[in-house]
Structures are given as C-alpha cells and as structure tokens.
Amino acid sequence: MPSVTFWWKPGCSTNTRQISLLRAAGCAVDVRDLLTEAWTAEWLASFFSGQPVAQWFNPAAPAVKSGAVDPAAMTPASALGRLIAEPLLIRRPLVEINGQRCCGFDTGWLAVQGVALGTGEVPEACSHHGSGAQVSCPPPVARTGKPQEPTPYSNPAAYVARPSGSSLP
C-alpha cells in the first residue's frame, strides 16, 4: 500500500477515524498539523485541482457557518490568501499520495491511488454534527483558553493501531 501524507486538525475525531481507516488498509500514514504548516499559495492550490473555490473551505468552520466568510464570493487568489491566513478554514484533510494531492477524504480518489478501504462508513463531515455537541469544532485555543498542550491524543500515531509489520514509530 502507498505512503500517505495526511494534514489534519489535531484533535479532530473525524480525521482520527480517517487515519485509522488508512492504517487499517495497510497505508503508512505521515500525519501533519494543517494549522501550523507553512503553506504557500502554489502548494495549497495543488490540493484543490478542479474543485470550485467554495469546496476549498471547511463548511463547519465557525467563520463559514456564521456567514463571516462567503467562499462562493471569493476569487481563487483571495480564497488562497484567506486560507493561508486562517488555516482553520481549509477543508480537511489534505492528502498526498505519490505526489498526487486531494482535498477531503475522497474514497474514489483514494481508490485510484491504490488505497482499498474496507467496507462500512467512511467519515467525511464533522463528527460533532448531530451528536448533541457543538455544531462545529472550535480551534484548540478556543476550547481550552490556551494553546493545545501535547498529549497522546495530539498525535494519532500514539494511539491508532498500525498494521502488523509497520515500521512507523
């Protein structure tokens, strides 16, 4: 199975489940923090190939839900500037396999890249919707009042099962 680079929002339970699915499929997953990555416009744009600008944005982001940010009204250049300035707005995960890039957990795209996920539910939307919890996941600072402290749960590699024989740390 291929190696996967997976940019996530630390603590996102949907992204954690997606990482688990990739590892269960036999992929080596390099997990990176979407919020702290040093994005450039060209690099970030490479994940959105062929998608309308509105689909580049996380619909569960508080600024999008409140209407403070209207992705449909943005040009590609203004959208990239806003996403780089506020990475919490980026639709996640961002995924790279063998130099090919994708925005969102697209099972069809993953299959084309050679990733055969098991049958069953494949999470895409925020896990908090419909659970009685907050409608959107606030950023780590908003939830705790301080920057997120490293915990075993900050790094999915610390608690997500790996395929046998895996060389991951």
Query: Catalytic residues, which ones?
Result: 12
CB 96 within 8 A of CB 115: no
Instruction: Tally Cβ neighbours within 10 Å of residue 111.
Output: 11
The strand order across the sheet containing 100-103 reads: 28-33, 3-8, 94-97, 100-103
Q: What amino acid is encoded at 117 in this protein? A: L
